[in-house]
A and B are shown apart, each in its own frame.
Chain A
Amino acid sequence: MQYILSLFFAAIGAAVFFQGFKLMRKHRLIKDIPRSKIRAMAMGLVEIHGKIRADELIKSPFSQTDCVFYKYEIKELKRRSSGSGKNRRTRLEWVTIATGDRRIPFFAEDETGTAMVDPTGAEFNTEIKRSYHQDRDAFSGISDFISTIKNWDSRKEQLLDVSGLELKPIEAGKKLRFSKSAGDRRYHEYYLQNGDTLFLMGTAASSSEAPGNVVLKKGENEPTFIISDKSEKGTLKALKSKMITAFALGGVTFIAGVLVFLHLIGVI
């Protein structure tokens, strides 16, 4: 069992390490492609900057904010133990117990024109916009609630009833004043609203349905499709730190996995 576990860790490490090269490619691609104005956007991979404009909107699940994209995360504070005997230690850790997102087509607008954006398959890069805390006794049937959110995703007309959750809003950047205990939950929401300024990198393709006959989407041969409410500089910075983390974490995990395996088979 230990052999398999060490090899498993080495394989995970190698996968994370090589993920670093994918991030390196993406980082270079963003640096290499200059910004296009929407009016003069050519077919193929393009980078544009524009504001969101949409007539049809969806509502985010917890704050009921009108948006074109949302992602939610539900985390639960769980007790984790490590070590054995006298060295046994327990600590509280936030564990993601549910996540999901929803996106609808919208328009990106700059000073020269408007382009339709089909966000299917896009990688959204946005910060948490709203967070809520829930005490452990306030709501117990989490699985029922998660399945309700997932079904609710496809029924946009209906509003999700979150009144029974007794959610306490957490202000961004402020420390939580109430106590934390195992079983507490956090509800995080990411969304993009009408008027938000975006950095977009995707494939411009012709479409008879879109105004101006151009739509920005995920390319058939080019997988890069980024929608971010950060600036180009901010997106590059985030990618660079992810890339360094992938190389460092992947490398260390790989080395540790290989060393443990070699130890187990008696080489060292």
Chain B
Amino acid sequence: MGALMIGIVIALGLIIIILVGYFISIYNSLVRLKNNINKAWSNIDVLLKQRHDELTKLLETVKGYMKYEEKVLTKVTEARTAFLNAGSVGEKAKADNMMSSALKSLFAVSENYPDLKANQSFIQFQSRISEIENQIADRREFYNDSVNTFNIRIEQIPHMFIARMLGYRARELFKVAEADRADVEIKFD
């Protein structure tokens, strides 16, 4: 066998190694993307639970002051129950949207109660919940970026073939409710 022939055989061998490596990297990348989504969701879930805990304490504080705001308090309690019963991403997203909307109403109505507004515990809970809300919004964006990257990748060639082999399907985005995008309507009697 001539030098040229051996050179070509080795070069082909190296090209095959690169192709195998590329295939493995696509496989690993898809697995990583799928796990990124699960991790991003867990990171949101941690904050949703934290908000739930803070909310329980907040409700205890406001109950005494806002006796006549039954509608607002019921809305918050309902959202809290919906969150506890939610299982899938879609259900939790819906419950989260309900909660965000209920909290906005609660904080808006609290403006009518100067004593409550001056209460140190209320101020602390309000700031803590607002902080968590902001973090949830950022992590929701991150989750949607992760889902978007995954959904695009599994549609692209050559990733599509491996994704089909693995049985990967497009994942659901964490959608923000239309009501959440609009300003809160506040009515004073």
Q: Which residues of A contact B (CB under 8 A)?
A: 17, 20-21, 24-25, 28-29, 31-37, 39-40, 42, 44, 112, 247, 251, 254-255, 258-259, 262-263, 268
Contacts and interface: CB of A to CB of B under 8 A. Distances in A.
B36 A37 contact: no
Given A40-B135, A42-B43, A112-B138, A35 B145 contact: yes
B22 interface: yes
6 contacts: A25-B28, A34-B142, A37-B142, A44-B39, A112-B138, A268-B6
Contact of A258 (B10, B32, B146): B10
A21 B149 contact: no
B139 A40 contact: yes
A32 B36 contact: yes
A32 B31 CA distance: 10
B141 interface: yes
A37 B138 contact: yes
A28 B25 contact: yes
A112 B142 CA distance: 14
Given A32-B36, A34-B146, A17 B14 contact: yes
| Chain B contact surface mostly | helix
B96 to A, nearest CB: 15
B165 interface: no
Given A44-B39, A259-B6, A251 B142 contact: no
Contacts of B1: 268
B167 interface: no
A39 B28 contact: no
A255 B10 contact: yes
Contact of A24 (B10, B25, B138, B141): B25
Interface of B: 1-3, 6-7, 10-11, 14, 18, 21-22, 25, 28-29, 32-33, 36, 39-40, 43, 134-135, 138-139, 141-142, 145-146, 149
Nearest to A112: B138
A147 B39 CA distance: 48
Contact of B2 (A36, A255, A268): A268
Contacts of B43: 40, 42
Contacts of B25: 21, 24-25, 28
Contacts of B2: 268
A262 B18 CA distance: 24
Contacts of B146: 34
A192 B2 CA distance: 53
Nearest to A37: B138
A24 B25 CA distance: 8
Contact of A251 (B6, B11, B134): B11
Given A39-B134, A42-B43, A255-B11, A262 B6 contact: yes
